[in-house]
Structure 1
Amino acid sequence: MGAASAVIVIIAIIFFPPLGVFLLAGCGADFWINVCLTLLGYIPGHIHAFYLAYVYYDRREQAREGRYAATHAPGIYSDRVQTGGGGYGTIAHQT
């Protein structure tokens, strides 16, 4: 995802948080947690969605720099978000 797709994800999170989470994490536990939080109140859904987006893009930037997070971010169940979209961490990246 480039800068344009990041902007699309942020706009999706602003207007409908579960859509933004779906675009980042897919249809898994994080998506359904966000749907429930959005139904409970619009603000908790936003907080959760922006937290997922922050972790996703932070981990993605760390991977580009050659640093990989050793621990999982709390409260996130998607491996895609945990790795910044870089796979499951089973393949060593060549530089």
Structure 2
Amino acid sequence: MQGKTLGSPRLVVRPHQFHRRMHALGHRTATAQAEYLDVSISTITRVLAGEVQPSGAFIARACAALDCEITELFEVAPARDRDTTKAVA
């Protein structure tokens, strides 16, 4: 089947809320935030940029560390259409 298919909804971070809480605790850089959550800098930057979905462990760690509910830091993003057409050389 070629054309477009509906992708799956994704869980994404709410960057403004994440940064607001981190900044309130004095963690203003990606390095400081990564250290605070005990994750890699790459994980922080990729999750905040929406390049990857946060893992369950990341979500739990962020909510516990920032003392908030999951719905304050994360939201479900709508599914995106994916192009399934194959390129022909």
Larger radius of gyration: 2
Q: Which has the higher contact order (CA 8 A, sep 6+)?
A: 2
Q: Which protein has the bigger strand share?
A: 2
TM-score scaled by structure 2?
Answer: 0.30
TM-score scaled by structure 1?
Answer: 0.29
